[in-house]
Chains A and B, each alone.
Chain A
Amino acid sequence: MGQVLVLGLINAGIYAVFALGVVLVYRGTGVLTFAQGEIGTLGLYVAYVLVTEQHLPWLVGAAGALLVTTALGAAFELLLVRRMVAADPVSTAVLTVGLGLTILACEFFFFGASPRVLDPPFLAASFTVAGVVVTPTQVAALVVALALGFGLQAVLRRTDFGLGILAASQDAAAVRLVGIPLSRITLVLWSGGAFLAGLAALLVEPTVGTVTPGYASELFVVGLAAAVIGGLTSLPGAVVGGVVLGIAESAASRYLSDANIPGLRYVTVFAVLLAVLLYRALAPELRRRLAPAPAGATA
């Protein structure tokens, strides 16, 4: 039981960090970005070149990775998203799919399909909980997810521009009317989302062990589901979604594997997703029906 929890939290950290990037972009721009997994992987290749090939310290590699992913997010917004100002969010979402595929192709082109090893930092600091070896980066993933999920909003509120970002997710047009350049906000959001993608990948990679093109895609998909579970516009929700899915997955793996359900992992994810979405859709109606009738009204 304890093990299920530990394993679930390890999963949760991974999913939550991916989910946060998705939510950040979505609430500010209305666009669902599908490129998070691949952007992160690209960052890992940068880190690989710096750390494994150039023998620089891991932190330098991480900094390089984050620099490149953030720049990529900014370039994507400046060069492409901005041109699509008139387009609907769905079209832009499709554009992110294209971005992901382009990055994937570049990874194959420059690095090939063979796995690259990026040694994780601080391995010696691993410790065992409930019979599972937990690494520092796994803890960091969870801590970062919690900090960002529950704290980012408060941080944003402190600055005018940050407040503008929060406002943009509520009413983008009005933001322009108070004199804040919306284009700058979207630039920051896309860059920030890409930064989080890079961060997510850096925190996840030590758990996986090797870097290959597209390896983050499966993890990212579950992260996307976590974001949806969390409501897609809520940063804390993204974290909660990650935790829910992470624990559901490890619990299913532990207790249901004997049932020989094919595709158990995805069944679990979709079952949870379905349950949450159904609940959201039906809850108002349920509440209404279950509430006691107001005095004098007919039942």
Chain B
Amino acid sequence: MRRRVASRLVAGLAGGAVLAACSSAPAPTSLVQDGGTTGGLTAGGTPVRGAVGGTVPGTPGGTTGTAPATRGGSSTGAQAPGTGPAVPGTTGGSTGGTSGAVAPARTTLFTPAEDRIGITPTSLTMCAHAALTYGQAFGTKDSDFNVYWQALNTEKGGIFGRKVSVSYENDNYTPTDAVKAATACKAKNPFMLLGGIGFDQIPAVRNWADANHMLYLHHSATVQGSQGKKYSFTELPTVERLGEGFAQLAVAKYKGKRIGIIERDSSNWAPGVQAFKAMAKKAGLTIVADKAVATNKANYTDELTAMRNAKADVVWVWLNALESTQLIKQSKVQQFSPNWLMFPFNLTSQTLDGDAMTPPLDGVAMYPAYSQGDYSGSFAPYASDMKEFERQYRQYDPDVDLSGIGGDLLFLNWTAQKALHVQLLQCGKDCTRNRFVDVLLGYTGQSPGKTACPIDFRGDGHHGSDSVVFMQTYRAASGKVNWRNTAACVRP
């Protein structure tokens, strides 16, 4: 039964796409009111979408464009966790956060009337659009996604005494329904709109957000269409950056090997492949095969045969988690076992079990790995977060099986919410929308906490991160095959 509930959450966690919007935040200790736990982890928020219609879990679909000032031309690989221009405790937020006389916000995006929508002395309301279709199919409660806020409200009385409530509107994974969902959210007068995963949806909602003056914090999307949008912000890397990240991993581990690509046949995914190839060319990687497939093709015998014909040693799978799982399973039947690069989800590793270890799979993501009860090795830097996460769910949502395939999704959801919490704290007692934007814009390369990656909005003022995480599968002490970080905060 627990397993069933957890598996429900997998699909329901499309709704947890909410989290996507948020990323790690600087957590200057002076401003942290909840007891000093440092801010969350790297950019969170890539929920797995459920089966049908396979959009990509964790794959933003866009062209690049983010040009954070720190970008170098280097193609070196991963950095060790925690290194980087990290200066814990710096004054990230430029807006005042303490009580008393407050300096006016620098941002003037919102009029005085708009500035305080959704925030009162006792409440803070937010709303998210996400693909809830499958979550609703099995009646997932909003509270499954809101455990963080529930704990915060109950144990600490919220943020500066404001109880936080987040509601969800179903965007059905289509742009038109996403706009409808955003409109439905607006009717609830939220402080901000959170955008769950969906690179088709987000561009539509970005336009809407500008027309409706809605503060919009969203998951990865294309840079195309974002130029000139004033109300949208994201702290997650783009598609191209991810594609490039995969290339970085390939260069770091498999230089000199023959590389094959199996990609989603879609103009929203192709930019990632272009970025991969650009870096591959620079680094001298050999790409021997490249096959595009339709969504949910289900039968990949053709593609696997092509990879084998080309004698690929390494195959990069640029598809969603469910498709990746099927593909690798079929590869075993075909007796073809290259190294695999893919999006890392415990859904895949646990379903494949032993097949995910022969050889261990490699992954690139923009969220941290999670393995229930394992606080050693690369989990150690954020073990305290994991423990707190587990404690909260035990207390507020005990039916959930965090050791199952839903666990890592819930965790990245949670860490993103935690990061948002920190940013809201930085916003201060007299937080308004403009002040919140000030908080975001105040990030100029600082790393929040010792395990967080740098956030930098100095590029175009709306895209804040280019960090990715490298992962690999391993067999945990519990017996399950999960993912764990091998490198965090990998910059270009």
A113 within 8 A of B: yes
Cα–Cα distance between A111 and B10 once the two chains are bound (Å): 11
Shortest Cβ gap from B192 to chain A (Å): 28
Q: Which segment of A64-72, A144-152, A233-241, A261-269 sits at the interface?
A: A261-269
Q: Identify A112's interface contact among B8, B302, B326, CB under 8 A.
A: B8
**Nearest CB in chain B: distance from A56 CB, A:** 19
In contact, B297 and A253 (Cβ under 8 angstroms): no
CB of B18 to closest CB in A, whole Å? 18
Query: Among B88-96, B193-201, B303-311, which stretch is in contact with chain A?
Result: B303-311
Which residue on chain B has the smallest CB distance to residue A14?
Answer: B299
Query: Is A91 part of the contact surface with B, judged by Cβ < 8 Å?
Result: no
**A188 CB, min distance to chain B CBs, angstroms:** 30
Q: What total of chain A residues lie within 8 Å of the partner, measured CB to CB? A: 48
Q: Which of A98-136 contact B (CB under 8 A)?
A: 104-105, 108-115, 117, 120, 123, 126, 131-133, 135
B393 interfacial by beta-carbon distance below 8 Å = no
Contact between chains at A113 and B51 (CB < 8 Å) = yes
List the A side residues contacting B405 at CB < 8 Å: 114
Residues of chain A with a CB closer than 8 A to B267's CB: 262
> Which stretch from A175-183, A211-219, A281-289 is at the chain B interface?
A211-219
Judge whether A209 is part of the interface by a CB distance below 8 angstroms.
yes
Q: How far is the CA of A210 from the CA of B328 in the complex (A)?
A: 10
Among the 9-residue stretches A3-11, A17-25, A82-90, A153-161, the one with 4 or more Cβ atoms under 8 Å from chain B is A3-11
A109, A110, A208, most chain B CB atoms within 10 A: A208
Contact status A208-B7, CB under 8 Å: no
Q: Give the contacting residue for B298; candidates A123, A132, A208; CB below 8 A.
A: A208
User: Are the C-beta atoms of A114 and B7 separated by less than 8 Å?
Assistant: yes
Q: How far, in whole Å, are A216 and B299 apart by their CA atoms in the complex?
A: 10
Q: Bits for A245-283, please: 1 = Cβ < 8 Å to B, else 0.
A: 000011001100100101111100000000000000000
Cβ contact of B296, chosen from A10, A117, A120, A218, cutoff 8 A: A218
Specify which chain A residues have a CB less than 8 angstroms from the CB of B297 in the assembled complex: 218, 265
A206 at the interface (CB under 8 A from B): yes
The answer to whether A210 and B137 touch across the interface, beta carbons within 8 angstroms, is no
Contacts of B265 in A (CB 8 A): 262-265
CB of A135 within 8 A of CB of B296, answer no
Q: Is A169 an interface residue (CB 8 A)?
A: no
Instruction: Decide: A133 and B334 in contact? CB cutoff 8 A.
Output: yes
A54-97 interface bits toward B, Cβ cutoff 8 Å, 1 = contact, 0 = none: 00000000000000000000000000000000000000000000
Interface string of A165-202 (1 = CB under 8 A from B): 00000000000000000000000000000000000000
- Cross-chain contact A217 with B299 (CB below 8 angstroms): no
How many Å from the CB of B356 to the closest CB on chain A?
12
| Beta-carbon contact of A265 and B325 below 8 Å | no
Residues of chain B within 8 A (CB-CB) of A7 are: 301-302, 305
Q: A212-B322, A214-B52 are in contact. Are A108 and B305 (CB under 8 A)?
A: no
Smallest beta-carbon distance B388→chain A, Å = 26
Residue of B nearest to A10 (CB): B301
Q: How far is the CA of A265 from the CA of B303 in the complex (A)?
A: 12
Give the contacts of B408-441 with A (CB-CB under 8 A).
Answer: none
Q: Which residues of B contact A254 (CB under 8 A)?
A: 302, 306
Closest residue on chain A to residue B291 by CB atoms = A257
User: Are B333 and A212 within 8 A (Cβ)?
Assistant: no
The CA-CA distance from A264 to B294 in the complex, in Å, is: 8
Docked Cα-Cα span, A264 to B293, in Å, equals 8
- How many interface residues does B have (CB within 8 Å)? 43
Provide the residues of chain B in CB contact with A265, threshold 8 Å. 265, 293-294, 297
CA distance A179 to B136 in the complex (A): 50
B292 at the interface (CB under 8 A from A): yes
B326 A210 Cβ-Cβ under 8 A:
yes
Given A131-B308, A132-B305, A210-B326, A112 and B296 contact (CB-CB distance below 8 Å): no
Contact A11 B299 (CB under 8 A): yes
Interface membership of B329, Cβ < 8 A: yes
Q: Are the CB atoms of A115 and B305 closer together than 8 Å?
A: no
Chain A residue contacts of B294, Cβ below 8 A: 218, 263, 265-266
Among B290, B291, B329, B347, the residue within 8 A (CB) of A209 is B329
Alpha-carbon gap, A7 to B305, bound state (A): 9
Contact A112 B7 (CB under 8 A): yes
Complex Cα gap A219–B294 (Å): 11
Inter-chain contact A109/B301, CB cutoff 8 Å: no
Q: How far is the CA of A113 from the CA of B57 in the complex (A)?
A: 13
B134: Cβ under 8 A from any A Cβ: yes
Which residues on B sit within 8 Å (CB–CB) of A114? 7, 10-11, 347, 351, 405
Partner of A253, one of B134, B302, B335: B302
Nearest chain A residue, comparing its CB with the CB of B347 = A114
Chain B 97-118 per-residue mask, 1 if CB under 8 angstroms from chain A, else 0: 0000000000000000000000
Interface centre among B51, B309, B405 (most CB of A within 10 A): B51
Q: What's the minimum C-beta distance from B407 to chain A, rounded to whole angstroms?
A: 12
B50 touches A (CB below 8 Å)? yes
In the complex, the answer to whether A109 meets B347 with C-beta atoms within 8 Å is no
- Which of A113, A115, A206, A262 touches B134 (beta carbons < 8 Å)? A113
Whether the Cβ atoms of A111 and B296 lie closer than 8 Å is: no
**A198, chain B: closest CB distance, angstroms:** 17
Residues of A within 8 A of B334 (CB): 132-133
Known: A113-B50, A117-B351. A208 touches B330 (CB 8 A): yes
- Provide the bound-state CA to CA distance between A46 and B306, in Å: 34
A257, B292: Cβ atoms closer than 8 Å: yes
* Cβ B305 vs Cβ A3 within 8 A: yes
CB distance from B327 to the nearest CB of A (A): 8
Question: Given that A112-B138, A206-B333, A264-B265 are contacting pairs, would A218 and B298 also be in contact in the complex, using a CB cutoff of 8 Å?
Answer: yes
With A108-B138, A111-B7, A113-B51 already in contact, the answer to whether A209 and B302 are too (CB < 8 A) is no
Q: A210-B351, A217-B52 are in contact. Are A115 and B292 (CB under 8 A)?
A: no
Interface flags for B278-302 (1: CB within 8 Å of A; 0: not) read: 0000000000001111111111011
Distance between B294 CB and nearest chain A CB, rounded to angstroms: 5
Once the chains bind, are B51 and A214 in contact (CB under 8 Å)? yes
Q: Which 9 interchain pairs have the tightest Cβ spacing?
A: A209-B329, A113-B50, A112-B7, A113-B11, A214-B52, A108-B137, A212-B51, A114-B7, A113-B51
- A sample of 22 inter-chain contacts (CB < 8 A) reads A7-B301, A7-B302, A11-B302, A108-B11, A113-B7, A113-B51, A113-B322, A114-B11, A114-B347, A204-B299, A208-B298, A209-B333, A210-B322, A212-B51, A213-B52, A214-B296, A215-B296, A219-B298, A253-B291, A262-B266, A263-B265, A265-B297
- Residue numbers of B with Cβ under 8 A of A are 4, 7-11, 50-52, 134, 137-138, 265-267, 290-299, 301-303, 305-306, 308-309, 322, 325-326, 329-330, 333-335, 347, 351, 405
Identify 13 new A-B residue pairs, CB closer than 8 A, beyond the known A111-B7, A114-B10, A253-B303: A3-B309, A108-B11, A114-B405, A123-B333, A131-B309, A132-B305, A209-B333, A210-B322, A210-B329, A213-B51, A217-B52, A254-B302, A264-B292
